[in-house]
Structure 1
């Protein structure tokens, strides 16, 4: 008996064949197999652009050239207020959507051939969480096309307080909010751990010399991402324990809290350089990443 995934692949393939037989326009569209690689590379490039922008803005905040630090979502909101902001938002939203599509193919169709052993399933689960987070980011970009608040940071913080208040209103809401903070803390620790144990050049089709040069960019970027989660996680945990929705912070305000500590600007500058490094590595992945087609995907 075929597995559910095999049945899904078969149905999608039949739907693609049926559409091409019935529509002359669809017959001119290249098969999904041929579109997959360029779309995935665009997705990696969009991710790199977002992290590079966030890193530059964090660095400017650390040196007091702008007011507040921002995360990836804040960087997208910052774009909305710049000249040609709607065009930037549209391009970034489409690029991130392409990246989410690639993550879906990695998870559902095992595009990287990870298998179903323990390591493979853990890798695909991580890719699923990554896909969801970038899906929310793409949704934010498209949402800002229709409504860009004058102060995105304040609007984002107000939304975070409202969401925290909804959680706190639930039975055992304070513990649920604290648990959400622990999950964020776990994500941060997992990123730092991953930075030391993972071979980030495994999927790159580049020379050994190039791989050796770009691997430190990936490690620095993943460490910075992991450490950047931790202040936000601590604030969410404390908000849950104190049952105060107003204590919940956004990613950017959590970084601002770090900046106010002794040596905070230096710590923030290091985090910014890490974000920039991760953005640069994403561009390298856009160029050299092995994009292997999923098995039995014949749309």
Structure 2
């Protein structure tokens, strides 16, 4: 069997998996799980803006909040399964989805591949906490950055990651401002969803730009501690002039993204 036949067979299998009702249903559960996580992150960020220093305002803090709720452990397993299903769907999109031609196709496949990693990480975090273990996204980010900095050319690699994350953040801001996220849906979800999506994508984009900037700072100073993920980025916003007001606005925007994610679970193209 030639390489072209192997590739064609892989794409055909991916398309079949992509169209499978179970995979599509799990992808929708994953989007709803993302909505819940973003609402909890928004709540933690708002508490931080108001002066509370409880759970870290990031994915691990949100998951640990769920752990403390009645029936929290079963819910975490549902979320873990949803994120795993969403990651699987993104894999089938990356391999077998239709992505146009040329640069558009390359960008679309890379985006699906990147999302696969994000959803796998979220699923792993949910499963880890459901098993009774704690996680700390900020420490994990700093540790990972530290390992990268030890590699030959590590500072350049971390800098490239920072630039990439800034680019992703800018993409989110543009997507929110232009309302182009509506192209991901099978129908118009209404004014509430459109407004929530717009402010949500812009707020999440701003947070990601700060995350990328902190990666860049870690690369420039050779200090892994500068790279602390989303929680560190929101703390950095808090420390700026008018920080509580800025962080409060970002928190409300992240809540909007969470609300939009529930609409996306219903109306997304799968």
Instruction: Establish whether TM, by shorter chain, passes 0.5.
Output: yes
1:25-64 matched pairs, under 5 angstroms: 33-64=20-51
* Residue number among 163, 177, 202 corresponding to 1:196 in the alignment: 177
1:219-298 matched pairs, under 5 angstroms: 219-291=198-270
1:87 aligns with 2:66: no
Cα shift at 1:89:
1.7
CA distance in 2, matches of 1:242, 1:11: 46
Would the aligned equivalents of 2:32 and 2:261 in 1 still touch at CA under 8 Å? yes
Report Cα offsets for 1:52-92 as digits up to 9, x if no partner.
22112212221234535512343123323444332222111
Cα shift at 1:6:
2.8
Which residues of structure 2 form unaligned runs of 5+?
A: none
1:154-169 matched pairs, under 5 angstroms: 155-169=136-150
Q: Compute the TM-score of the two structures, normalised by the length of structure 2.
A: 0.85
* Residue number among 150, 153, 157 corresponding to 1:172 in the alignment: 153
SS for the counterpart of 1:280 is helix
CA distance in 2, matches of 1:290, 1:161: 36
Cα shift at 1:182:
2.0
CA distance in 2, matches of 1:163, 1:203: 32
CA distance in 1, matches of 2:174, 2:20: 34
Report Cα offsets for 1:81-110 as digits up to 9, x if no partner.
444332222111011112112222222221
Q: CA RMSD in A?
A: 2.8
Would the aligned equivalents of 2:137 and 2:228 in 1 still touch at CA under 8 Å? no
CA distance in 1, matches of 2:64, 2:13: 39
Cα shift at 1:5:
4.1
CA distance in 1, matches of 2:191, 2:11: 37
Cα shift at 1:265:
0.9
Q: RCO (CA 8 Å, sep 6+): is it higher in 1 or 2? A: 1
1:67 aligns with 2:57: no
Report Cα offsets for 1:141-175 as digits up to 9, x if no partner.
112233423xx4xx443333332322222223223
SS for the counterpart of 2:20 is helix
Query: Structure 1 residues 161, 128: closer, same or farther in 2, change over 3 A?
Result: closer
Number of positions where the alignment pairs a residue of Structure 1 with one of Structure 2: 268
Would the aligned equivalents of 1:69 and 1:256 in 2 still touch at CA under 8 Å? no
Query: Structure 1 residues 184, 11: closer, same or farther in 2, change over 3 A?
Result: closer
Report Cα offsets for 1:106-137 as digits up to 9, x if no partner.
22221xx4433433442232122112111111
Residue 136 of structure 1: aligned partner: 121
CA distance in 2, matches of 1:199, 1:13: 25
Please tell me whether Structure 1 or Structure 2 has the larger radius of gyration of its CA atoms. 1
Query: Structure 1 residues 80, 148: closer, same or farther in 2, change over 3 A?
Result: farther
Cα shift at 1:213:
4.3
CA distance in 2, matches of 1:8, 1:278: 34
**Greater alpha carbon shift after TM alignment, 261-270 vs 34-43:** 34-43
Would the aligned equivalents of 2:14 and 2:93 in 1 still touch at CA under 8 Å? no
Give runs of ≥4 in structure 1 deviating > 6 Å.
11-14
CA distance in 1, matches of 2:71, 2:212: 34
CA distance in 2, matches of 1:12, 1:182: 31
